[in-house]
Amino acid sequence: MINTVDFITPPVDDPYWFGQISAANSISDVYSMGGRPLTALNVVMFPSKHLDMGMLKDILRGGHDKVVEAGACLVGGHTVDDEEPKYGLCVNGVVHPDRVITNAGSQPGDALILTKPIGSGVLFNAVRSGKLPFRELERDTLPSLAALNGTAMEAALKYDLHACTDITGFGILGHLIEVAHGCDARIVVKYGDLPFYPAALEMYGKGETTGSNKANREMVAKHHLQMSTTLTTAEEELLYDPQTSGGLLLSLPESQVGALLSDIREAGMISAVKIGEVIDEPVGITVI
């Protein structure tokens, strides 16, 4: 049995999108361990005296629809009056004890696949500050964030999957360093192969950022990071951008990458790409 609890403050002002993305984010923890979600409980904090209750209804409707899409059951929840809206799920899932996938099983010779683009953190802030129209976020980014990671994981479990993690608040490099320490090896990432959401680089170029970039950068700097390519400041910031409902990072033998990518893309996750590899060198990350 897997039990996870996750909730977030609104990444977008549209309540239905917020509900969907929050639910997908919560359910992802179960998928990333190779599990299947069974039940979910709403976890809600809402300023009922300041916001229309119709907004809460739409948030819960978005979460409910995503839980149903995952094949799980929404069985209740808990609501607290708070200063700002927060929503997520406590998710229960199942996985055979011998088939639990962790972020610590990568092996030298593995290739790394990322199933969703990165850069959502700066885009949310850019919409709030007026630098990016919401319609562009809704068109280019929100459908991907609301997409369940179960599709990719179902495909990956048919292969020799050694490790997996979902990419969330620590940014791509923060999660990669966890993978590197887990297998006591070095991760090599090819920057040019990383998928980014449209306008993410542009927003960093315009001076937008997030509240997590600095902390993520400081955390990674302590763990043997080598930058073997020349990047602009804006390009570097994308490596530390915190994700909400990010994709899965999948580690498996290089020989199986082509077939898995084909399966994942055929299932509709067209942004999935190989971004790097695991090599038998001291723990750390090299960006080339």
> Binning pLDDT at 50, 70 and 90, where does residue 252 land?
very high
CA 236 to chain CA centroid, Å, is: 19
Q: Where are the domains of the chain?
A: 2-99, 110-287
Q: Is the pLDDT of residue 11 over 90?
A: no
CATH of region 110-287 = 3.90.650.10
Q: How confident is the model at residue 48 (pLDDT cuts 50, 70, 90)?
A: confident
Q: Reply yes or no on whether the pLDDT at 85 is more than 70.
A: yes
pLDDT for residue 82: 87
Specify the pLDDT at position 247.
97
- Give dist(CA 123, CA 20) in Å, integer: 18
pLDDT in tens, 193-206: 999 999 999 999 99
Q: Is the pLDDT of residue 222 over 90?
A: no
Distance of alpha carbon 152 from alpha carbon 129, whole angstroms: 33
| 3 pLDDT above the threshold of 90 | no
For the chain, the average pLDDT equals 94
When pLDDT is averaged across residues 253-261 and rounded to a whole number, the result is 98
Q: Are 115 and 248 in contact (CB under 8 A)?
A: yes
Confidence at residue 272, expressed as pLDDT on a 0 to 100 scale? 97
Pick the CATH number of 2-99 from 3.30.565.10, 3.60.10.10, 3.30.930.10, 3.30.1330.10: 3.30.1330.10
Q: Give mean pLDDT, residues 167-172.
A: 96
User: Tokens 């804006």 appear where?
Assistant: 234
Looking at residue 5, what is its pLDDT? 65
User: Given this model, what pLDDT does residue 227 score?
Assistant: 93
Region 48-73 average pLDDT: 93
Round to whole Å and give the CA distance between 46 and 58. 13
pLDDT of res. 50: 84
Q: What is the mean pLDDT of residues 72-82?
A: 93
pLDDT score for 7: 61
- Nearest alpha carbon to residue 241 among 264, 213, 219, 272: 213
Q: What is the pTM of this model?
A: 0.94
